[in-house]
Structure 1
Amino acid sequence: MSVATEHVYRVSSTGWVHCHGNDAQDVPAWPTLQHSALVVLDLDDIFTDVWRFEGKSEYAAALIEKRARTQGLVEGAAHIVMHRLLKVPGGFQAFFSAIPLELWQRCTQWAREQGDHCLLLTAAGLLSHGVGTDGGRILLSQRRLMYFAQTEEGLSFGSMQALGGRESAMADAAQALLGRQQGLWTRLGADAVEYGVLWSVQPEDVEASLHAIQAVLGNAPVVLFAAELDAAGARVLTALPKLAHEGAGRHALNPLGERIAWRAERWVAPVTVVTALAGLVLIAAGALITQQTDGYRSAGQGERAQLETLQSRIQAVSAVETPRKLLPATELARQLDQGIRYNPMTFLLDLKEATGNDMRIQRVRLETEAQNRTRTFRVDGLAASGASYAVMRWVSHMTAAGWTLKALDPVGAAPGAFSYQLIAAGAAPRSEKP
């Protein structure tokens, strides 16, 4: 829900005003509402100030209520609203509002009886909302100026009513109010101070107060947005709807559950929009993924068809028999390949490198198998007694040189005799070693 659609009620000593959209309308006190509302208490009966206490801040409300009753600042018992609590050396400072207990009970009872969420706020809560350290805010409500500031030294608050009908009354009130804390405003600077119109039906008061504040600060403060409402033909300048909308979640006087429910109600529309957008994004992503999947499937089918065609061609080529006229040439090529692979000089060099001093090669013979006419070398040798590891080393060396070894029955029966058949492992010709 936006600021313009909020139902905001201002409760002052002059009565109740309902602000909605661009209109401000007087309504009877304690109306029966059928819509959610923000009700701002801007009453002279509410005492607001900044006090400092020694001791623990856990007892702040009780200490404030006791002092307010003792000094006669409120009639009877009071409900203490803590706007800001700041721990300082040796104690704490509290920015608070003391609401007469009878008024407080009637407000809370009325809010509970309404048909929709109804949050209660105070003008002092809106005054301090969003003001951080080394910052300040000044608000004009009718003919009353009030300010709140926070620095590293602590909290500051002040208010003053412009009295009399003189044109300079508002300017005099502003200068008197801010002049008490000239050092504070000089330290903060104009850029750290906000000025807003909480409620005013007199534009000349706004201009006079703003000029006086500018004179004290030495420059123009940051001016808060003020809407212009129509109140039965009269013009009302107010930042109340915007400040109430922004500060309701933090400064409402209602229990936590009611504040959460009010906030959740305003999240429904944004969450619905976000959910709808997320759904559209997911649908679009699903359509895109489906389209890509179909494309990949079509591409896969095309590649599969190409592979099947290639395999058919390979099978067709493999099935072709060698022409009879080429058989002699094929046989010659095979013999040449065998000759290169089984070059005796190359083999003897490999054999010499692999044979150690603890073994002796007795015979090397190039053999040809009768069935497939495959050539092999047969090596017969003799290892020294107890040097079986020498044969293993020799086998490893010959294997590394590119030969496949097969153990045969030794020719002799002497201890350490061995015989192996060696077949060239690779088809590629090997170059001779120097």
Structure 2
Amino acid sequence: MSYPIRPMTESDWDAFCGIWEEAFSSQMAPENIERFRKLIELDRTLAAFDGDRMVGCTAIFSFEMTVPGGVRPVAGVTAVGVLPSHRRRGVLSALMKSQLTDLYERGEPVAALYASESSIYGRFGYGLAAEGRGVTIDSHHAAFGRHVLTDPALRLRVADPAEARPLLEKVFDKVRVTRPGMYGRSPGRWDDVLADEESAQRGMGPLRCVVVEDDTAPRGYALFRVKLSFDDHVIADSDLWLLDLFATDPAAYAATWRAVLDRDLVARVKAHSRPADDPIQHLLADQRRLKAVNMEDLWIRTADVRRALAARAYAAPVDVVIEVEDSVCPWNAGRWRLSADTSGAVCEPTVDPADVTLPVAALGEVYLGGRSLSPWKAIGAADEATTGALRALSTAMSWDVKPWAGLIF
């Protein structure tokens, strides 16, 4: 059965919200719906219909995202859902294929998403490109080592989050270009980050902010909530939930962490997600006081292999013919010669024999530089016709700073 797909209009908004709530078994507070509406780009939101009823949807946020070597346009895929009554009918597949075709025709080579279910998106050529770490630190045993940098010019200021917003934006915009996966925050996105209604607090208390600065500029900040608790009603046993912590230099980074670790009445500092290579562990004198759990972060899809591979930087020279397997986007399937070094890259179609053969999801997985191609060879999903070619490609696509977006969209 065919389900026509078209861009959503303003009159479809209520039906769109209904699908979102059904698909995720949730209910959005009115203030959340209002903020969500400000973020959604109607012309980039596709809806599938059964007659006049919307039964599925998917949307895109237009981002500027850091990739190895610079900031590039990336399509942030979000709000993917199908009504329970229309599962297993090909609605999701049709939406995903329509969306990728639209990206290709627009000249947008890369898509990114956070996956609600990790089993879904590999079918459509996405690869898990970035991981984070859920972190818990025992704040009573969180002394720093002797090697930690300090700067006497720095001072700490407790600030109202909304009033400090221009300072937070300044720090964030300076930091985000240094890590693949981080994306620019629009005014609407900042509204969401700084939201502080009861629905946003989720029982963890009001949003709080500290700013680390000198006489010339802000150099770090933290946004957090404290869930106040007392063991046996006597001993403070509170959790500080860290939402955002960024700093522009090592001394400011250490000072910002010190500000949250030294918070009165707090027994533990927790973060749902921090970068996999977050330096905080190296600041602690006793690294065992940090407990970490690996977390999924971004999934990446190369919607246009030629443009995507030419748009990023490479850590080492490489000249390799890649045969790409892509059943969803047939324009990607075939052989591509990637010639790259640290000054630039060219990717063009070729009839030369392949050095390596890869599923397109493997290219998405390594695109931000944080993962290796070797597991794909180990499971037999990647083939190497030229000895050493897979390792050379993997090395060239690696990046020193681990990718991480850190904010679900």
Q: Which structure's residues are more often helix, by fraction?
A: 1
Alignment TM-score > 0.5, same fold: no
Greater RCO, 1 or 2 (C-alpha within 8 Å, sep 6+): 2
Question: Which structure has the larger Rg?
Answer: 1
TM-score between the two structures when normalised by the length of structure 2: 0.24
